[in-house]
Amino acid sequence: MVAGVPGHAAPSFTGRGQPPSPLRIGPHTLANNLILAPMAGVTDRPFRELCRRLGAGLAVSEMVAADPRLWARRKSQRRLDHQGETGPIVAQLVGNEPGALAEAARRNQDLGADIIDINMGCPAKKVCRQAAGSALLRDERLVASILTAVVAAVPLPVTLKIRTGWSPEERNAPRIARIAWESGVAALTVHGRTRACGFTGSAEYETLRALRQLTPMPLIANGDIDSPERAGYVLNYTGADAIMIGRAALGRPWIFREIAHYLTTGAHLPRPDPDWVKTTLLHHLHALYDFYGDLTGVGMARKHLGWYLRGQRDAAAFREVFNRAGSRQEQVNLIEASPASAFGSWQTEDQQAA
């Protein structure tokens, strides 16, 4: 049985023998149909660039509040910084006022955005308390006003990210999808949970499968896609045009090339060489230091190292030592002095069972 799809056994998936059709959003044809999900505090420019280099066809930025009065904050300035980033560049906006979101879209276009994504899927309480994120799903008239205003404001393609509804009793993704299509939205991403579900339980894909029959716009499936097998299953079962990967990419940014290889050939890539993983980690950490500066970069490095160490033997002990390191050079020295094997045994449940 496949989690999130009650009563359905996973069909065999042996690859298509050729790469899946690349996703097209407006005038942009992507390299493939694999997208890095926006995650606040995670998908900064260094992580987006790393995932793009390792196989993601698109990487969505961290959400930025539509209120420009908040843009002077250092955190917002970093989120708006796309200097040197591989395109197409996707800026995600969050808010609840059509005029403010339209103006924010125009400003992000001036800052280099190629695609504007509207967040109506974030389940965080602090966002929903502002009647933004997934809270907007409860007001379909406002959804229409927002999407119409943003689409009219910029010549860029506008995309939308939602959940299947506010709660299991209020699943209205089909109506939201129709509103989005009529408003001129270029692509729709759906996380297979309601807002009430948060990240608990398993993603349900039946709503996405039904949406595929209802809307002609590109559909991107999101939720619990954590292995090549699951990626193939979700694409086959839902009929989605692309998949979006979030939490499974934390500490494993190479998941995109693993999935791309599997979808093309039906075979798994060999597990990453430990020396390569160590080099990739060091590259990521240096990019964080350079982007944030040494002080903030050290804190960001601690967070990401924890994800890289998932499933490693003696991870807790090493993480404790690493977290005590107070400078860039101390952290780098600790990684460089560690054997590559300390970072090379991470594997998925599917790989463990193989």
Token pair of 319, please?
Answer: 């993480």
How far from 171 is each of 7, 13, 18, CA to CA, in Å? 20, 30, 36
Of the candidates 68, 14, 8, the residue with the CA atom closest to the CA atom of residue 228: 14
d(CA 150, CA 158): 7
Of the candidates 150, 122, 152, 127, the residue with the CA atom closest to the CA atom of residue 60: 122
Q: Is 122 a catalytic residue?
A: yes
DSSP state, residue 73: S
Parallel/antiparallel/unpaired status of strands 34-36 and 58-59: parallel
- Can you state the angle between helices 294-308 and 315-324, rounded to 10 degrees? 180
Token pair of 115, please?
Answer: 């695609």
**Bridge partners for 2 per DSSP:** 5
Active-site annotation holder among 51, 122, 128, 197: 122
DSSP state, residue 274: H
Token pair of 18, please?
Answer: 């050729």
Give catalytic residue positions.
122
